[in-house]
Amino acid sequence: MKLVMAALVGGVVCLDLVTKHWALEALSGGRSLELLGGWVPINLTFNRGAAFGLSLGSDPRWIFIPVTLFAIGFLVVLIRQAGPGEGGRAVAAALILGGALGNLYDRIRWDRGVVDFIGPIDLGFMDWPIFNVADSAITCGAVFLAVSFILEDVRNRGESEGQGGGEDSGGEADGPVTDPQKDLP
């Protein structure tokens, strides 16, 4: 399973780097494209901030790089410790790890910020912020990780209730066993 996770991480990083390279070449000089009949605009921008363009000062990469390195270590441990029945957790962590590595590359290589190029997407009530493949992997992985934790918790609760010794478990009741006939006159 670990080899599959490594391939997933590598695939996300490669796809992210290739698409960012394409965006830098194809969209430089203010050029833009539209996909799906204009529903998905493609515009080159650089995000020096956090998710959704949140700003953290004039050069926040020195905040993001150590935080990202810590997160990478945590995700590697999460993937390595995933046991049988925890494949969803490992896949989710691999998606997040691949996305984190892709965006880390941009933060290390220059101070312009992370290359973003998909969007902004008009949802009718708001514009969805501009993003890239790494951001998509991180977002999908985070949602998938939350779902996997919830499903694991539900499964673990079901297993522990089955071993609890109550009436539903088929085990004996807790406490002393008394003969109801013995107490009658």
Q: For residue range 22-73, what is the model confidence (pLDDT) as tens digits?
A: 999 999 999 999 999 889 999 999 988 776 556 666 777 888 899 999 999 9
The whole-model pTM stands at 0.81
Position 56 scores a pLDDT of: 66
Residue 140 lies in a domain: yes
Tally the domains of the chain.
1
Position 59 scores a pLDDT of: 72
Residue 94 lies in a domain: yes
How many CB atoms lie under 10 A from the CB of residue 181?
Answer: 6
Position 174 scores a pLDDT of: 53
Residue 181 lies in a domain: no
Task: Give the C-alpha separation, 180 to 10, whole Å.
Answer: 68
Residues annotated as catalytic (active site), given as ranges:
116, 135
Position 70 scores a pLDDT of: 97
How many CB atoms lie under 10 A from the CB of residue 22?
Answer: 13
* CA–CA distances in Å: residue 119 to residues 27, 47, 112, 148: 13, 13, 19, 29
Residue 115 lies in a domain: yes
Position 55 scores a pLDDT of: 64
Can you give the C-alpha Rg of the chain in angstroms? 25
Residue 112 lies in a domain: yes
Name the residue range of residue 82's domain.
2-50+58-159
Position 176 scores a pLDDT of: 54
Instruction: Show the low-confidence residues of the chain (pLDDT under 70).
Output: 51-57, 164-185
Residue 172 lies in a domain: no
Position 169 scores a pLDDT of: 46
